[in-house]
């Protein structure tokens, strides 16, 4: 991933230095396990642990000749260990090391993502509490529907983020497996006991059964989870992009003092952060498809998945880390305009209160069809006049006056009538 979207902590996890360090961590865990089981003498285990290291530049030089990164790595380690290097990688195949190390990296990346997801959750929770009673318009099909509160909007996001926290926890759990089972996974030259003890040392669970590789449905679930989180961020960002439109302006991203919106138009304040989130979510979704394709491999293994994972694993984890962090900042400093929300709610004389009027007429004995037509005629009149007034139309309609008094009509235009049960729902979420 390019530096622009790479935060230091997550980026460091995917550096060559970190990759080979994790490979060495796995190799040394196998040595330690074999030492505990009496396969390798204690003094040899101690010597290997003391001497084992690698040289990045040396690995690159060796790989140019051998065209195999694990062999290049092992050769570099062997040069540091000396005679006892014959006990390193004993009974293993490359995938034992690479897949187990990848699991460790994905677990570590997942913990960073979980932290950032929780930070966003807290930012949204604060907005939900702050605006739990801020009346705004609920929209369906992009059109004004009925009143809601901005805090209720935020609470919907909050519940979605809570589900993602659970999904991420499950994805981390499903990827937290290692294997030390040798070629085609049959433990031909290494025992399941070594695998179990190695995984215990590394804080992983042994794969219940595997071929020469850990099965890629696990990785697909992990990458899909990141894409699902990213898609929710895209959804949230799209809402902000709409609300920030000049003709709506109910909420907008923070705009710093020295920030510039356009090279040509000095007045511009664009939702660039939210647009950035929406764009990057497309990459996550594309990567999740690649991860699903990786499930299908030939027989006990091939390496068609390997090249894909070298791209999608760092890119997806780095991107979702960046996206969560950036959107948390947007939500923390989100600018909300309650006055504009009220002004927009009153457009056409409060047509968003049409259902209340219809139900009041039904309560007076009219059929639903009669009440609907009576209310719709007055609403459409306000709409078609462009700047018409629904409420005034009702007050002037003699048919309506036969059934409803002025005070009864005016009572229909109170948002609290619509919002009386919101408090109960928000209490369920701790808002």
> How many angstroms separate the CA atoms of 39 and 32, rounded?
10
pLDDT digits (tens, 9 = 90+) for 61-82: 999 999 999 999 999 999 999 9
Tens of pLDDT, residues 225-249 = 999 999 999 999 999 999 999 999 9
Q: Where along the chain do its domains lie?
A: 3-9+92-341, 346-419
Q: Topology of domain 346-419, per CATH?
A: Ribonucleotide Reductase Protein R1; domain 1 (1.10.40)
Q: What percent of the chain has pLDDT over 70?
A: 100
pLDDT in tens, 95-130: 999 999 999 999 999 999 999 999 999 999 999 999
DSSP secondary structure of 351-416: GGGHHHHHHHHHHTT--HHHHHHHHHHHHHHHHHTSS--HHHHHHH-HHHHTT--HHHHHHTT-TH
- How confident is the prediction for the chain on average, in pLDDT? 96
- Rounded mean pLDDT of 351-376? 96
pLDDT digits (tens, 9 = 90+) for 405-419: 999 999 999 998 888
Q: What is the fold of 3-9+92-341?
A: Fumarase C; Chain A, domain 2 (1.20.200)
Span 38-45, average pLDDT: 97
More confident of the two residues 257 and 323: 323
H or E element in which residue 177 lies: strand 177-178
At 127 the pLDDT is: 97
What is the per-residue pLDDT across 302-353, written as a single tens digit (0 to 9) for each? 999 999 999 999 999 999 999 999 999 999 999 999 999 999 999 999 999 9
Which amino acids are annotated catalytic? 141, 262
> Which one is predicted more confidently, 18 or 418?
18
Q: b or e along 298-318 (b: 16 or more beta carbons within 10 Å of the residue's beta carbon)? A: eeebeeebeebbeebbbbbbb
**pLDDT at residue 387 is higher than 80:** no
Task: Give the model's pLDDT for residue 262.
Answer: 82
Q: Which residue has the higher pLDDT, 257 or 249?
A: 249
What is the pLDDT at residue 386?
A: 75
- Give 257's pLDDT tier (boundaries 50, 70, 90): confident
**pLDDT (0 to 100) of residue 405:** 95
């Amino acid at each position: 991933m390019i530096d622009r979207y790479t935060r230091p902590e997550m980026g460091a996890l995917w550096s060559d230095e970190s990759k080979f360090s994790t490979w060495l961590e796995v190799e040394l865990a196998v040595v330690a396990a074999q030492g505990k089981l009496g396969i390798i003498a204690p003094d040899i285990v101690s010597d290997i642990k003391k001497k084992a290291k690698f040289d990045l530049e040396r690995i690159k030089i060796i790989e140019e000749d051998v065209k195999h990164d694990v062999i290049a790595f092992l050769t570099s380690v062997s040069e540091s260990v000396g005679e006892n290097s014959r006990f390193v990688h004993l009974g293993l195949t490359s995938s034992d090391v690479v897949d187990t190390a990848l699991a460790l990296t994905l677990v570590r990346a997942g913990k960073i993502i979980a932290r950032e997801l929780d930070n966003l959750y807290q930012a949204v929770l604060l907005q939900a509490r702050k605006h739990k009673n801020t009346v705004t318009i609920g929209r369906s099909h992009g059109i004004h529907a009925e009143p809601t509160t901005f805090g209720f909007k935020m609470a919907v996001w909050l519940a979605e983020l809570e589900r993602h926290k659970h999904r991420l926890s499950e994805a981390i759990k499903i990827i937290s497996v290692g294997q030390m089972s040798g070629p085609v996974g049959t433990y031909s030259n290494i025992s399941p006991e070594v695998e179990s003890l190695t995984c215990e040392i590394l804080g992983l669970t042994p794969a219940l059964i595997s071929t020469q590789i850990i099965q890629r449905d696990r990785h697909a679930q992990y990458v899909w989870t990141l894409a699902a989180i990213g898609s929710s961020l895209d959804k949230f960002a799209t809402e902000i992009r709409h609300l920030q439109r000049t003709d709506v302006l109910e909420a907008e991203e923070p705009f710093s003092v020295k920030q510039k919106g356009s090279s040509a138009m000095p007045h511009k304040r664009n939702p660039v952060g939210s647009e950035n989130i929406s764009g990057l979510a497309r990459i996550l979704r594309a990567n999740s498809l690649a991860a699903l394709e990786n499930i299908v491999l030939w027989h006990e293994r091939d390496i068609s998945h390997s090249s894909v994972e070298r791209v999608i694993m760092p890119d997806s984890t780095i991107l979702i880390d960046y996206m969560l962090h950036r959107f948390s900042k947007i939500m923390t400093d989100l600018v909300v305009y309650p006055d504009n929300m009220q002004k927009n709610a009153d457009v056409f004389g409060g047509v968003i209160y049409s259902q209340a009027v219809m139900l009041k007429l039904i309560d007076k004995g009219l059929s639903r069809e009669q009440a609907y037509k009576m209310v719709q005629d007055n609403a459409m009149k306000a709409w078609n006049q462009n700047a018409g007034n629904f409420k005034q139309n009702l007050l002037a309609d003699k048919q309506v006056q036969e059934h409803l008094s002025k005070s009864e009509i005016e009572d229909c235009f109170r948002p609290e009538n619509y919002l009386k049960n919101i408090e109960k729902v928000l209490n369920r979420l701790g808002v």
